[in-house]
Structure formats: C-alpha cells, structure tokens
Amino acid sequence: MLVDFDTLSEESRVWIYQANRSFTEEEIAELESKIETFITAWTAHGKDLQAGYKIVYKRFIVIALNQNLNNATGCSIDASVHFIQQLEKEYNVDLMDKMNVSFKQGEFVAYKPLVDFKTMVKNRSVSKNTIVFNNLVTNIAEFKDNWEVPASESWHSRFIK
C-alpha cells in the first residue's frame, strides 16, 4: 500500500540505495512510476505493506516501511532487493554496492569508491566537516537527523584523523 513518505511514522524502517550517477529527469519520472507500482503491490505473507519512497538529489532511492502495520519478511525483503536489481539492469546503474561513498562537494554530490575516499582523506580533499551520506540509518528519524552529517559524526569518521 503506497503512502506519502512524509506521512510515515518516525520509527518506519528505511532502506537507502545510492546510485553511482545522477538520474535524468526522464529516468526519475520512469523510476517514480515503477517504484509506485512495486510498493502498491508489495506484500508480506499476503498482507499489505504500508510504504513510501523518495528520490533525493537525483541519486538516492529511499524506501520506508511502516512496521507498525505489518513487518517485512524475508520474502518481502527479497522481493524489494530483486526489484532494485531489476532497476540496476534497466538503467545501467549501481544501487547495491555498499563499498562506495557519497558526499557533498558544495552543492554537488560526489560518489567515490571507498579506496578513493580514503585517499581523498589522506590528501585532505575531504575532512571531518565534509558532509557525507550515512546510508546505514535504519528508520525515518535517523534518516532525518543522521543521514546527511559531517564525516566526523558517521561511520566515515574511522578514516579521518
């Protein structure tokens, strides 16, 4: 059951998929339609799942699920992963690789392999104040408060001295 992302409770679970490139406006319109179709039909053991989504910075797909209504199950989570993998193939984009880092450089969102990010830290191209995207947040409250944070306040801090 598709609902507006902003109406979901703070404890709703989130999954964040970061793309290795920005989506075009045309792709975003297509993605919105496909995501809405998926969420509308998304179930767990035959029960509707109340979920919403956002596409942020033309690069992040954020799906949120109200677990107070029905929890996701192994099968429903598998279905969402297969859906995301299908999007990867259709749009020739990487959405599942967790070994990459997205961060802000001014208003631009940069995307680098973790190895390159570590090199940038060493070269002082990024610092503890660089805004990073902490895609490990687990619910909407954390998404609002701890998704876009200085590197010193996220898991990225282990690479910054």
The token pair at 113 is: 């392999």
The token pair at 79 is: 């279905």
**Cross-strand partners of 53:** 63
The pLDDT value given to residue 76: 87
Q: What is the pLDDT of residues 48-100, one digit of tens each?
A: 889 999 999 999 999 999 988 777 878 888 999 999 999 999 999 999 988 89
β-strand pairing of 13-18 with 60-65: antiparallel
How many angstroms separate the CA atoms of 88 and 81, rounded? 11
SS3 (DSSP) at 1: coil
Q: What is the pLDDT of residues 86-144, one digit of tens each?
A: 999 999 999 998 889 999 988 899 999 999 999 999 998 999 999 999 999 999 999 99
Domain ranges of the chain: 5-91, 100-159
